[in-house]
Each structure stands twice: as C-alpha cells, then as structure tokens.
Structure 1
Amino acid sequence: MNKGEQTREWLLKCAEKAFSKKGYYETQVSDIVKLARVAKGTIYQYFKNKQDIFMTLLDNYTREWEQAVKLDIKDFRGDMPAIDYALGFLRHRLEKTAIFFSENEDRTKIVLRIGVGVNEVFESVMRVFENKVLARIMHDIALGQRQGHIPKDLNLETTGNAILGAVLRVSYYYFVINRKSLKKMSLEKMIDDSVKLAGNTLRMR
C-alpha cells in the first residue's frame, strides 16, 4: 500500500469514527479533518464530498462482509440429524456475521442506523446489503431443502425474510441500542439463541 492509499484508508477510518458518533447529518467534513489531523483540502484529493466518503464506507462494508461469511457445505459432514446440517451451516454463517459486526463496530452502527425515508441513495445501498444477506440465507435454506434437511413445503422467501428480520433486529439491539447487554451475555450466547430461533422457523410446516 503506497502513501496515497494509506492516507485514503486513514481518512475512511476517521470518517467511521465521526459518522458512528454523530450520525451522517450531524457530521461535518471538518469533524473528519480534525480527527485525521490533515488539511481540509486533503479530503478532497480522495473524495468528492461527505456523501462520497459515506457511500465508500457502505460499499466497502458490504464487500468485506461477503468475504467474511464465505463457507462451503463440505465443512459440514458427519453423523448427525439432517436438520443439524442445515442449522450448522446457518450457525456458521450467523457466527461469521456476528463476529464481523463486532470487529467493525463503528461501521455496523452506521449501517444498522440507516432508516427508511432518510435518504434514497443510502436506502439503496442498505437494500443492497440486506438483499445480499437475504440471498445467503435463502441459499442456505434452499440447499437444505434440496438435500432433505429442511421441509420443502416452507416458503423460501417468507422463511428467509423472517430470519433476516430477526438477525437485523437482534443485531440492532445488541450492537446499537444496548451494547452493554452483549458484553454481559457474550457473542456466542447471542448466536446460539439466534440459531435456536432459526431452527424453530425451519421446522415449521
């Protein structure tokens, strides 16, 4: 990574801190400049404006999450009840997601705080992220159905969206609203409870 790339990454890191603390609309470019300890003109060498910085953070977040949750069905073999294959696969995906959220706390707060009606551009990016998460969940469910691990009469879209809604709400609660509760409960316990909920959903007929 050359000096220019290092500077760009440093500016993004400082922007994460600023947006996470104050939100998009309350954050000014001057806040990022102050955290980064650079001249204001330096920002505009790498980004067009505040929105460009914000969109870059969101795009990077989505791409990095995709890399973090990659897995292979070959990781889940052995002598176990059929439903456990599907749940093991899903648990691994949820665990990777939770760890990614935890390791990227500032950006996770930014992403999960984006609400409907706030900004069409930001909403479109959030929809891309949510649709990618949904696609992974539906892929795992469909795989389980094809292999006989999950009842085939479950509606794929309804079930996928039910699990997605639960994942996003639980994540919002523990990573944005009540971070202290997560520290008391532990990340693994949160994942276990989420998988139990998903398991109950996947067993519905």
Structure 2
Amino acid sequence: MAQNALGSDTAPKTARGASTRERLLRAAESVFAEHGYSGTRIADIVHAAGVSHGNFYRHFQNKDDVFVAVLEPLLDELVEPFVRALAEGSDVLDSMVRVNTDFFATYSRHRRLFPLLREAAAVNPDFTAMWLRMRDRFIGRIGAWLEEIGAAPPGAAAEPQLLALALGAMTEQLAYIQIGPSGTGPSGVTDERPRRPGTPGVVDAL
C-alpha cells in the first residue's frame, strides 16, 4: 500500500468495517470521476455509498483522505515496474521498454484517475507535491538509464535528464490522447522493439 503524508493508514478492525470502507472507496472513485476533484462533496460520496456521514468519518478524515485512498492502487502500480526492473538487473533498454509499456497499461486501467490527480495537483499544494514526486521519480530513473546507455554523450546539446523530461512529457501526452478521452485501451504495445547496431539512441530506448 502506498504511504502518503496526506492519507491515513488505519485499517478497519472488522469485516463489516472493511466492507463499508470498500463501498466508500468504490463510491468515491465514481463520484470523483463524475464531478471532478473540486466538484466532489463528502455528501455525494456517502449518498452514493448508502452510508452515513458518521460511517465516512470512521474511515476517512476528509475528502483529501479518501481521495488518496482511491489513488493508492494507481500510485502502487506506477512504482512497482521501477522496483522490479532494478531488482532484476535487466538490460537497460529492456527495462526502459517494460517500464513505458507498463505505464500505458497502468494508464489504461486507471484512465479515470490520472486526470483527477492532475486536477487536484492544480488546486491543492499537497497533491502538487505528490504529482511532482511521481514525475521526478520517473524522470530521474529514465535519465539515469539514458546516461548509462550513452543516449546523450558529454557535450551533447541535450543532457540525459532533459531528454528524460522530454520523453516523459511525450509518453504522458501520448497516453492521454490515445487512452484517456477515448476510453480505449492501448493497442499494438509490445515488448519487441527494433534496435540499431552500435550506440542506442533515444528512439531505440522507446
């Protein structure tokens, strides 16, 4: 489970409590998706879940707390590919392809949550910090991999971290255009990528 400064991590002590919390989470995700982060009220969530306000506050402190809980599967899935790649010590290019492929798959599974997180980050400093931590982790790791494979030799016009920032922006925008609004999953995404002989470049890394 993702650990966030915003969210509480108190687990329900009974099966009934766990069931109520799950109902609230399902309702919250649906209401957030319908009304957006700013437009969602706790009253909307408890109405959709069919529980009382008192039950809501037994499990969550406020709207931000339940929003973090809704985001937890997404946050966990974004971190896991990097952890797995580093643990396996795979070839750098293979790791980059797998991480980016996993990102598209994660975006597809959580296509309703990504726009919500961006909306929340635009209006709430705590979620801004969360978004920047996510982005910086991705950019930092990709930049290190690009440097390792020599995608930007010393003296090149673009340094590895700048290339990683550009690639991250391209990847996110591609996911938004191809997956987000259309509601369709990623198609034609495969782990097979052609590689040119010699020093790999940025295109090969993707």
Give the shorter-chain TM-score range. 0.7 to 0.9
Matched residues in 2 for 1:141 and 1:8: separation? Answer: 43
Aligned residue in 1 for 2:137: 132
Q: Tell me the equivalent position of 1:121.
A: 126
Is the CA contact 1:133–1:164 (under 8 Å) kept in the aligned structure 2? yes
Q: Which residue of 2 aligns with 1:27?
A: 40
Following superposition of structure 1 onto structure 2, how do residues 89-128 of structure 1 map, counting pairs within 5 Å?
89-114=95-120, 116=122, 118-128=123-133
Shift of 1:57: 3.1
Quote how far apart the aligned CAs of 1:178 are.
3.5
Q: Tell me which residue corresponds to 1:50.
A: 63
Cα shift readout 1:138-194 (whole Å, capped 9, x = no counterpart): 23223323xxxx343351211110011111222222343343xxx3xx6143679xx
The runs of 5 or more residues in structure 2 that have no matched partner are 1-11
Amino acid at match of 2:105: I
Q: Deviations over 1:93-146 (max 9, x none)?
A: 111111111122332332244454x2212211111121122123223223323x
RMSD: 3.2
- Does the CA contact (< 8 Å) of 2:31 and 2:45 recur in 1? yes
**Aligned-residue identity in percent:** 19
In 2: Cα distance, 1:59 partner to 1:124 partner: 15
Q: Does 1:5 align with 2:18?
A: yes
Tell me, yes or no, if the aligned pair for 2:27 and 2:49 is still in contact at 8 Å: yes
Whole-angstrom CA distance in 2 between matches of 1:105 and 1:91: 20
Per mean C-alpha deviation after superposition, the further-off stretch among 107-116 and 48-57 is 107-116
2:126 and 2:121 mapped to 1: Cα distance?
12
The one of 150, 166, 174 equivalent to 1:170 is 174
SS in 1 for 2:40: coil
**Which residue matches 2:7?**
none
Structure 1 or 2: larger helix share? 1
Stretch deviating more after TM superposition (3-12 or 123-132): 3-12
How far apart, CA to CA, are the structure 2 residues paired with 1:176 and 1:92? 20
Q: Conserved in 1, the CA contact under 8 Å of 2:74 and 2:106?
A: no
2: CA distance, partners of 1:5 / 1:97: 29
